[in-house]
Structure 1
Amino acid sequence: MATPLSTVRSVVHVDDLGIKTILSDRGISINVDHKINEDEAKILALGYKQELKREFSLWSIFAVSFSVLGLLPSVASTFDYQQLVIGISPVPWIVAVLLSTTVALSLAEIASAFPTSAASAYAVSQLAPKKYAPFCTWITCFSNWMASVTAAPSVDYSCAGMILALYSYNTTSYKPTTGHVYGLTTGIQVTHAIISSLPTKWLALLNSAGTSFNSLGLLVVFIVILAGNKRDELHPGATKFNSSSQAWDLENQTDFPTGFAMLMSFLGVIWAMSGYDSPFVMSEECSNASIAVPRAIVMTAVGGGIFGWIFMFAIAYTLYDIGAISEDVDGLGQPFVLYLTQILDKNLVNLAVALTIIAGYFMGFSCMLTTSRLTYSYSRDGLFPGSRWWKVVNPVTQTPINAVWINFLVGQLLLLLMFAGDLAIGAIFSIGGIGAYVAFTMPTLFKVFYCKDFQRGPWNLGRWSTPIGMISVFFVALMIPVLCFPYVKGSNLTLDEMNWTVLVFFGPLLLFTVWFIVDAHKWYHGPKSNIDEEDMVYNSNVIIGVESEKDCSRMSIKDSN
């Protein structure tokens, strides 16, 4: 029975909003006891209450994703997966970024159509074949969650390693132990969890500050590398810059053919560029989400790709001896720091590394923030054990604090991998790359190859939607097996040199699949509405007249007859 009209301030007729949702095609109208705008009307039509404050603008939502992208710390953290695989040439970055951008463009189009924190998983639930939609949504959720929950630990681990490497550089008698790295990483994680529990308004300000610092830090380090370069003074007989033939040459560091090695080096770009989905996850805290979110995704991907290439260009023309970096002759354990010591004097090395550390700190905080929103949205759909706790929104801060701290605990468990060796902890970087791109691409896969009635949002790719979508799907399908290969083969392949991504990512994914087959299929059917049943009217005669697209609170209630 409908709520008494005296308590109804706005009514949303789901089928009139042109959005394919879990409430579509059922003649549902939703009564609301307050005035609403277009954003709230859409989230209600998608099946969810507006529980989070919409205090992120286009700039602040872009700030989150650009901070998660964290170009400076990302490049520094992935030296092992780029320069130490295929050499210093910017070519792999250019190719990988162009292909990754197709994934971002397709995801942006999806985000415009489904602006909810459940992100790509919600889209899959609506685009996949009905019979298989729950399982496909389940796999998308856990792929995305594994990628997201490993992000903050991997960034904080790199940040801690950078701090200790800088201290070791200035104090030659000190050599960091695994315990030191774990302890410092834990301390960083704790501060990030505390910050991520703050009210949304403060988080928006902090992310804006983080983006500003990341951009400024990248610019300063870029200038320092080029203007402070003293290769010719530090290494007698060396030139100040590499020749173009040296800078653009591919130097295969693996046991595989050069072309395949270049594909393997894409892990650095994929991991660095995987942050552009953050606006999608933060959709329910962003105003004008159907436009601002896809724009922020594209701005992050394109801007990150361009600035990253410029930074790679500087590295290519200045790096002196990649062999010495690979062998870690100074025992610093951080290839990026070793690179800087080859070309800069001590004061400039300290400056560049310090800026990288601060940028990395902001990046780790943004990663934890984004992950908490993903965990909150999936818990709202009942995905996890204990979902009733993780979906709680704190009444004081109006943020999902419980989701923040459960992610912190999972992150701490993942960090124990560092005691199993560098390759074991390095697997969380691969998880971040594979898991994220699987989740990003699943809705595009069904949009391009199955769903014929995809209802585009206000931001879309038009006639380019299908070709761009196909390229993105084929790119990800190619990269998934490539990123599971070790860098050596034959007699060189030992347990220490094995790529454990297959075990660390696909092992849990297999367990999640078994869980679904054995039990979860009985109760998990994809996203579910949390709107109170008494607020929904089925097969109603009520239709909606919207007087203003900007303000859906001006809806008039009219009888269909």
Structure 2
Amino acid sequence: MASKILSRRKHSVAEEPVTSVLPDGDVPYDPNHEFDADEEVLAALGYKSEFKREFSLFTTFCVSFAVLGLLPSFASTLYYGMGYAGTAGMTWGWLVAMVGIQCVAMSMAELCSSMPTSGGLYYASAVLAPPGWGPFAAWITGWSNWIGQVTAAPSVNYGVAGMILASASIQNPDYVPTNYQTFLLTAFIMLIHGVMSSFPTKWLAQINSVGSTFNFVVLVIVLILIPAATDRESRGLSRFTSSSEVWGTIYEGTVFPPGISVLMSFIGVIWTMSGYDSPFHLAEECSNANIASPRAIVLTSGVGGLFGWFLQLVVAYTVVDITEALESDVGQPFAAYLMQCMPQKIVMAILSLTIIAGFFMGQGCMIAASRVTFAYARDDCFPLSKFWKKVNHTTQTPVNAVWFNCVIGIICNLLIFGGEIAIGALFSIGAIAAFIAFTTPIFIRVFFVGNRFRPGPWNLGKFSIPIGVVASGFVALMVPILCLPSVTGSDLTPDMMNWTCLVYGAPMLGAIIWWFVDARKWFKGPKVNVEHLMLGRAGNVVEGEEAKGNESGSDTAPDPDSKKGLEAEAQDAPVEVK
């Protein structure tokens, strides 16, 4: 057997959370190339480096914060956040929702530190699942996550198009936007983002740094401008609504009891705060990924949650008439709200800034979605995966995956012709799909793996399981809540139906049927070539022999005593590449 021995270094594959012998061809060995720390971590997870690592903690945070897009996200989902429960749902309701959301973010960051790969949650589900269940867990997580990702840019760009056309209505009250015009404008924005997302990684990092900085600066400007420039007093009102009314009045936006209405209003919070998983999917393009990426996840969620709450407070204390804002002929609740309490020039200035911020947000969503598609196509999850997993030789980015998502997104926007309720399903779909994908590996890690989990350098320590329990419980509560319609009985017509169950449930049901009919025969989860020790399962790792039982969710029986011994062996022995 021909072999080459890698000399021991301060950082080696053997010191990563996986003990392995790496077969030639899966992880290429070049005697003239010394693996850096990031390449070793990725090699230990079973993948070769295919991207340039030109993202840092800051630029990764910039992408995720751009995807979060607090101001345009808030403007796009005001119909739900304020329309279901009023100002009470926007104030203390946001705080309650953020407890669950932050728990999900921290648990996800812990997984990212342990497994920093573009496959992200999908990869984690496969590795952590009980023996034999890895491929199915990966399949469900992957499809749910992809649905959430692929609907993100279309929903954001729909919101941006709505604000652009609402601005035209403000300037010309006789103009009423049509569904056809909204669709064409949204599709045009999607095409622009497709072109931009096909740029080289270095350009993308620079563009998103500008976009994220702009988003943050505009958010601060709007937080200051709205309370400073409000003209409520000239309209015979107090400058701000009293705190007792803001915090204590629940708007009857649904037929359900107030408590349920507040929970239903969480769709705005959850959808707004669903972009913090982006650092996970960009981990293979980030330097020092197993520390920088989880930090970016928690930083995005924490900063986004705090500033998002400030924005909620500003609007809650200045809104004049919720019903009028929701039913205005302008067709965009945020624009209608601004017209109630601001001079027209200030309204146009805020809308313009929000539109630009939304444009950058949509582009960030397109980038993140393309990385998810690439990662899943790499493991043949999609039909014609061989096309979607190609990396463009010129830009070193997954251009085919970008345009695949772009076409799917434009098709999704055909829901515009079904009315506001139908297109609104994109927002609830994004919230549900994303958080089911977020929580599946967290649930498996908490309830099936427990203390056998091998954390990375960024971890929650003794708080890991309690925080994971809260995260799992929060999502389990919210999934059925977000599927409820706002009306029931004879008022529940097709126009008023919550289409989330159908638009999300149909593709997921199709994916499950596909699994049992055919996919289970050939889909074995992430195509890794190493045995993971995160579960304490001992593989037949012998110097000079290839690791056996290397499929995700393998049936190798757990051996608590073997883990320690293999770890010691990993630290002392060189790694052999055959």
Instruction: Specify if TM > 0.5.
Output: yes
Q: Of residues 446, 449, 465 in structure 2, which corresponds to 1:448?
A: 446
Give the conservation status (yes or no) of the 8 Å contact 1:192–1:368: yes
Identify the residue that residue 402 of structure 1 maps to in structure 2.
400
Identify the residue that residue 354 of structure 1 maps to in structure 2.
352
Q: Are 1:288 and 2:285 matched, yes or no?
A: no
1:98-247 correspondence runs (5 A): 98-233=99-234, 235-236=235-236, 238-247=237-246
Q: Which amino acid aligns with 2:497?
A: M
How much is the aligned-residue C-alpha RMSD, in angstroms? Answer: 2.3
Hey, what's the Cα distance between the residues in 1 that align with 2:430 and 2:380?
A: 23
Q: Which amino acid aligns with 2:17?
A: I
Hey, what's the Cα distance between the residues in 2 that align with 1:65 and 1:380?
A: 23
Residue 542 of structure 1: CA displacement?
Answer: 9.4
Identify the residue that residue 311 of structure 1 maps to in structure 2.
311
Hey, what's the Cα distance between the residues in 1 that align with 2:507 and 2:425?
A: 13
Q: Which amino acid aligns with 2:82?
A: Q
Q: Which amino acid aligns with 1:284?
A: E
Residue 327 of structure 1: CA displacement?
Answer: 2.2
Hey, what's the Cα distance between the residues in 2 that align with 1:26 and 1:3?
A: 11
1:405-444 correspondence runs (5 A): 405-444=403-442
For residues 43-87 of structure 1, give each alpha carbon's deviation from its aligned partner in whole angstroms, at most 9, with x where no partner exists.
111111100110000000000000000000011000111101100
Hey, what's the Cα distance between the residues in 2 that align with 1:14 and 1:382?
A: 30
Hey, what's the Cα distance between the residues in 2 that align with 1:440 and 1:4?
A: 40
Aligned residues: 535
Q: Are 1:264 and 2:253 matched, yes or no?
A: no
For residues 73-126 of structure 1, give each alpha carbon's deviation from its aligned partner in whole angstroms, at most 9, with x where no partner exists.
011000111101100231111111121100000000010000000000100001
Give the conservation status (yes or no) of the 8 Å contact 2:16–2:40: no
Check 1:31–1:323 CA distance in 2 against 1; reply closer, same or farther (3 A cut): closer
For residues 143-170 of structure 1, give each alpha carbon's deviation from its aligned partner in whole angstroms, at most 9, with x where no partner exists.
0000000000000011001000001110
Check 1:376–1:484 CA distance in 2 against 1; reply closer, same or farther (3 A cut): same
Q: Match of 2:84, SS?
A: helix
Check 1:480–1:313 CA distance in 2 against 1; reply closer, same or farther (3 A cut): same
Hey, what's the Cα distance between the residues in 2 that align with 1:82 and 1:31?
A: 51
Give the conservation status (yes or no) of the 8 Å contact 2:13–2:40: no
Residue 14 of structure 1: CA displacement?
Answer: 8.7
Give the conservation status (yes or no) of the 8 Å contact 1:67–1:363: yes
Identify the residue that residue 548 of structure 1 maps to in structure 2.
none
Give the conservation status (yes or no) of the 8 Å contact 2:22–2:529: no
Q: Are 1:19 and 2:17 matched, yes or no?
A: yes
Q: Match of 2:54, SS?
A: coil
Check 1:19–1:514 CA distance in 2 against 1; reply closer, same or farther (3 A cut): same
Q: Are 1:32 and 2:29 matched, yes or no?
A: yes
Residue 471 of structure 1: CA displacement?
Answer: 0.3
Hey, what's the Cα distance between the residues in 2 that align with 1:477 and 1:516?
A: 23
Identify the residue that residue 63 of structure 1 maps to in structure 2.
62
Q: Match of 2:274, SS?
A: helix
Give the conservation status (yes or no) of the 8 Å contact 2:66–2:361: yes
Gaps of 5+ in 2: 531-539, 547-571
Give the conservation status (yes or no) of the 8 Å contact 2:113–2:459: yes
Q: Which amino acid aligns with 1:32?
A: Y
Hey, what's the Cα distance between the residues in 2 that align with 1:400 and 1:159?
A: 26
For residues 293-348 of structure 1, give each alpha carbon's deviation from its aligned partner in whole angstroms, at most 9, with x where no partner exists.
000000000000000111111111111111211222xx111000000000110110
Check 1:18–1:40 CA distance in 2 against 1; reply closer, same or farther (3 A cut): closer
Q: Match of 2:483, SS?
A: coil
Fraction of identical pairs, as percent: 48
Residue 271 of structure 1: CA displacement?
Answer: 0.2
Give the conservation status (yes or no) of the 8 Å contact 2:114–2:454: yes
Give the conservation status (yes or no) of the 8 Å contact 1:542–1:558: no
1:453-472 correspondence runs (5 A): 453-472=452-471
Identify the residue that residue 86 of structure 2 maps to in structure 1.
87
Identify the residue that residue 302 of structure 2 maps to in structure 1.
302
Q: Match of 2:136, SS?
A: helix
Q: Match of 1:311, SS?
A: helix
Give the conservation status (yes or no) of the 8 Å contact 1:13–1:28: no
Identify the residue that residue 498 of structure 1 maps to in structure 2.
497
Identify the residue that residue 364 of structure 1 maps to in structure 2.
362
Hey, what's the Cα distance between the residues in 2 that align with 1:4 and 1:98?
A: 51
Check 1:12–1:400 CA distance in 2 against 1; reply closer, same or farther (3 A cut): farther
Give the conservation status (yes or no) of the 8 Å contact 2:107–2:468: yes
Give the conservation status (yes or no) of the 8 Å contact 2:69–2:361: yes
Residue 529 of structure 1: CA displacement?
Answer: 3.5
Q: Are 1:387 and 2:385 matched, yes or no?
A: yes
Q: Match of 2:509, SS?
A: helix
Hey, what's the Cα distance between the residues in 2 that align with 1:280 and 1:524?
A: 23
Hey, what's the Cα distance between the residues in 2 that align with 1:356 and 1:476?
A: 29
Give the conservation status (yes or no) of the 8 Å contact 1:11–1:31: no
Residue 18 of structure 1: CA displacement?
Answer: 3.9
TM-score using structure 1 length: 0.92
For residues 208-238 of structure 1, give each alpha carbon's deviation from its aligned partner in whole angstroms, at most 9, with x where no partner exists.
10111001111111111111000121x23x1
Hey, what's the Cα distance between the residues in 1 that align with 2:157 and 2:397?
A: 22
Q: Match of 1:460, SS?
A: coil
Hey, what's the Cα distance between the residues in 2 that align with 1:439 and 1:14?
A: 32
Residue 246 of structure 1: CA displacement?
Answer: 1.4
Hey, what's the Cα distance between the residues in 2 that align with 1:474 and 1:159?
A: 33
Check 1:2–1:187 CA distance in 2 against 1; reply closer, same or farther (3 A cut): farther
Give the conservation status (yes or no) of the 8 Å contact 1:27–1:538: no
Give the conservation status (yes or no) of the 8 Å contact 1:392–1:400: yes
Hey, what's the Cα distance between the residues in 1 that align with 2:306 and 2:120?
A: 26
Q: Match of 1:161, SS?
A: helix
Hey, what's the Cα distance between the residues in 2 that align with 1:176 and 1:259?
A: 35
Hey, what's the Cα distance between the residues in 1 that align with 2:360 and 2:518?
A: 40
For residues 398-457 of structure 1, give each alpha carbon's deviation from its aligned partner in whole angstroms, at most 9, with x where no partner exists.
000000000001111111111122111111111100010011111110111001411100
Hey, what's the Cα distance between the residues in 1 that align with 2:206 and 2:22?
A: 41
Gaps of 5+ in 1: 532-536, 544-554
Residue 540 of structure 1: CA displacement?
Answer: 3.3
Q: Which amino acid aligns with 2:240?
A: F
Q: Match of 2:453, SS?
A: coil
For residues 341-360 of structure 1, give each alpha carbon's deviation from its aligned partner in whole angstroms, at most 9, with x where no partner exists.
00110110000000000000
Q: Match of 2:238, SS?
A: coil
Q: Are 1:540 and 2:537 matched, yes or no?
A: no
Check 1:449–1:557 CA distance in 2 against 1; reply closer, same or farther (3 A cut): closer
Residue 507 of structure 1: CA displacement?
Answer: 1.1
1:453-532 correspondence runs (5 A): 453-529=452-528
